[in-house]
Amino acid sequence: MTTVMVDALPRRDLLAALAVCSAVGVGTVYFPQALLPHVAASLHVSVADAALVVTAPQAGYAAGILTLVPLGDAGIQRRLLTILFCCTSAAAVIAAVAPSLPVLVVASFLMGCATVAAPVIGPYVAGITGSSRLGSVNSILLSITIPAMIASRAVAGFLGEQYSWRYAYVGAAVLALVCAVVAWSRLPVPAYVVPVGFPGYLRRPLNQLGLHPGLRRSAFYQMCTFAGFTGTWATLVLVLRDDFGLGADALGWVSLVAIATMAVVPLTGRLVDRKSPDVVTSWILAGTCLAAVLMLGALLGGPVGLVLLVAGVLVLDVSMQSGMVANVTRMYRLDPHSRSAMNTAYMVCAYAAGGLGSWTAVRLYNQLGWWAVPAFVTALAAAAAVCHRRTK
């Protein structure tokens, strides 16, 4: 394992290379979302059936987090990332030449399994970073993945519209192969490698949850904020349609709030380093409640209601992403030798809560209307605040 550098950041060229690799990994999960109509038309299936092409890589991503990310604690990140990117490239090639939807879905699932670069890179970078600079590094990595999600959808949509959806998968294969070369050639060789035993390594994330109250707190805070975040985005297209008469394309414009978040998150990272994750968490939970109040303004309707809604979504996005920086920094400081296992536990909890939050918010909206969604966000933030207050 590379020696930790106290109060230091990794070399800029290494950090830049790892940030790009992380962005490619994240973008690979999300770019199929822009290809649904093109895949459906090309393979002569319904859009509903083609939606499996979007679900499959996300399901694969979850499976990869559970089974592959914990291996990062063995000190084999260089080899692991190289293999993962090579497998991602191979799966993307199969997807590009898939003759039918079942083949494409299977290839997409395998691609998702292998593209867990970001959850592997995060703990690795933490291991070569001084403990007092973890917030800054986490915020840099996160701020790079935000435009990656936006750009991957935009580029894939352009290729699907102007050429063929298959070109998007070819591009993903090429980028993954380049990242494999970068990982193998630029990452330092580990000083030692821990023998990996199964199924022991698969139990380590659960063990870490039991060992570290700080990990449980970080996971709970992120579960609350992420559930409110996903619930809001799941219902946003509905309120834009019902209250403002806007189509689904309006959601794309609202998504541009992520650009502002990209600029704010590095500032949050420096605040986490200068203050503490707990201090910043208090501000974040207050920001989440403010976001809910602003989003409630959508009930006013008209231009004023729309402006308040978008402002609330912006504040919520900043709060959720900033919360991730604070929570991950708190988690990484607990046990340097188990960061990958802790990251697995943390992400599984967050994504499970996100799925439940989306499901709950849609049903609240259908039963009670838009006001219930900001109320849901507020209730979750209040639950996190009560926990935070008791443990401060």
Tell the residue number behind the tokens 């046990």, with chain if given: 335
pLDDT lower than 50: segments of the chain: 1-7
Q: Fold identical between 12-196 and 212-391?
A: yes
- At 252 the pLDDT is 64
**CA dihedral angle for residue 128, residue 131, residue 134, residue 135, rounded to 10 degrees:** -170
Domain boundaries, the chain: 12-196, 212-391
CATH topology for 12-196 is Growth Hormone; Chain: A; (1.20.1250)
- Cβ distance 93 to 146 under 8 Å? no
- At 218 the pLDDT is 92
Distances (CA, A) of 174 to 9, 91, 179, 314: 30, 11, 9, 34
- At 2 the pLDDT is 41
- Cβ distance 186 to 17 under 8 Å? yes
- Helices and strands, number each (H, E), in the chain: 17, 0
Tell if the pTM clears 0.75, that is, is over it. Answer: yes
- At 4 the pLDDT is 41
- At 5 the pLDDT is 42
- Cβ distance 364 to 373 under 8 Å? yes
Structure tokens at 49: 């059936």
- At 194 the pLDDT is 64
**CA dihedral angle for residue 297, residue 302, residue 308, residue 313, rounded to 10 degrees:** 100
- Cβ distance 135 to 272 under 8 Å? yes
The domain 212-391: what is its CATH number?
A: 1.20.1250.20
- At 196 the pLDDT is 63
Contacts 24+ apart (CB under 8 A), 125-128: 125/10, 125/15, 125/18, 126/332, 126/336, 126/339, 127/1, 127/2, 127/4, 127/336, 127/339, 128/2, 128/3, 128/4, 128/5, 128/10, 128/14, 128/188
